[in-house]
């Protein structure tokens, strides 16, 4: 997409939010966070349903709709005020997106593509493993589970990420502090055990954060040898 068209799209989404800080947040996230474009490249043209775990203000859902995604979308998050704002916007712009108060430990029945962006590190290690197993179980034939998360490492990027997490919790943007940063194998293992093919890619873009995208795919029915 041409840069001018992309900026217009971002401004259109951000303008839907009532609060100035939500508009600023939406503009900055959609413009500078590489996760949105990366997910869109994999999902926007899919006709499969999409479960967005930890959707927050619903930015990913609104972004995908603008890019032509027409599958059924369900976003869940435990932050009720953010969900209320996402619902208000979806109703106002007729985006046909569904948002629900929900906990990562009690996922709804689902079959399709599953997204988990920047959620795992807010859970203890054992709950991360359970969430990954439950998310993998909801990936349909030929569908994807996409996880974006910080990985624990001995690097300046990881230390920068820890500082940023302390800051956003201190200003109460996040309702929960970071609890445990997983290593790569801790994310891969339950997904491989669930029969998914896993690819891990760095996804920090122009940010200082130690973020990675984990793309796990379930084979389509009958595609195996």
Cα 147 from Cα 132, distance rounded (Å): 9
Domain positions in the chain are 3-217
- The answer for 48, left when phi > 0, alpha when psi is -120 to 50, beta otherwise, is beta
- pLDDT for 2: 62
pLDDT, averaged across the chain: 91
Backbone angles phi, psi at 145, to 5 degrees: -115, 120
Residue 15: burial class (beta carbons within 10 Å; 0-12, 13-18, 19+): exposed
- pLDDT for 217: 98
Task: For residue 12, give the nearest of 86, 93, 94 by alpha carbon.
Answer: 93
pLDDT in tens, 99-112: 999 888 889 999 99
| CATH 3.40.50.150 corresponds to the domain 3-217 | yes
Answer whether 107's CB lies under 8 Å from 132's CB: no
Answer whether 146's CB lies under 8 Å from 214's CB: yes
Structure letter (DSSP) for residue 139: B
The pair of structure tokens assigned to 80 is 């009720």
Q: pTM score, two decimals?
A: 0.91
Answer whether 53's CB lies under 8 Å from 107's CB: yes
Task: For residue 77, give the nearest of 50, 106, 49 by alpha carbon.
Answer: 106
Cα 140 from Cα 5, distance rounded (Å): 33
- pLDDT for 224: 46
Q: Residue 97 — pLDDT band, cuts 50, 70, 90?
A: very high
- pLDDT for 73: 97
Cα 85 from Cα 87, distance rounded (Å): 5
Cα 37–40–41 angle (5° rounding)?
85
Cα 60 from Cα 64, distance rounded (Å): 6
Answer whether 202's CB lies under 8 Å from 214's CB: no
Q: Residue 20 — pLDDT band, cuts 50, 70, 90?
A: very high
């Amino acid at each position: 997409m041409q840069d001018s068209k992309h900026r217009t799209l971002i401004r259109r989404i951000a303008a839907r939010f009532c609060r100035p800080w939500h508009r600023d947040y939406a503009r900055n996230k959609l413009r500078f966070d590489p996760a949105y474009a990366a997910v869109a490249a994999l999902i926007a043209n899919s006709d499969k349903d999409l479960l967005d775990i930890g959707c927050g203000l619903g930015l990913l859902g609104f972004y995908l709709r603008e890019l032509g995604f027409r599958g059924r979308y369900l976003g869940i998050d435990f932050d009720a005020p953010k969900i209320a704002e996402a619902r208000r916007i979806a109703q106002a712009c007729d985006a046909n997106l569904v948002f629900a108060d929900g906990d990562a430990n009690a996922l709804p029945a689902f079959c399709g593509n599953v997204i988990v962006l920047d959620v795992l590190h807010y859970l203890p290690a054992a709950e991360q493993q359970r969430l990954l197993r439950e998310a993998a179980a909801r990936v349909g034939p030929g569908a994807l589970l996409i996880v974006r998360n910080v990985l624990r490492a001995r690097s300046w990027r990881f230390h920068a990420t820890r500082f940023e997490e302390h800051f956003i919790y201190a200003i109460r943007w996040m309702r929960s502090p970071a609890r445990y940063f997983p290593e790569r194998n801790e994310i891969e293992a339950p997904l491989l055990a669930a029969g998914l093919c896993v690819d891990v890619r760095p996804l920090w873009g122009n940010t200082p954060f130690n973020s990675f995208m984990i793309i796990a795919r379930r084979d389509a029915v009958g595609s195996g040898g």
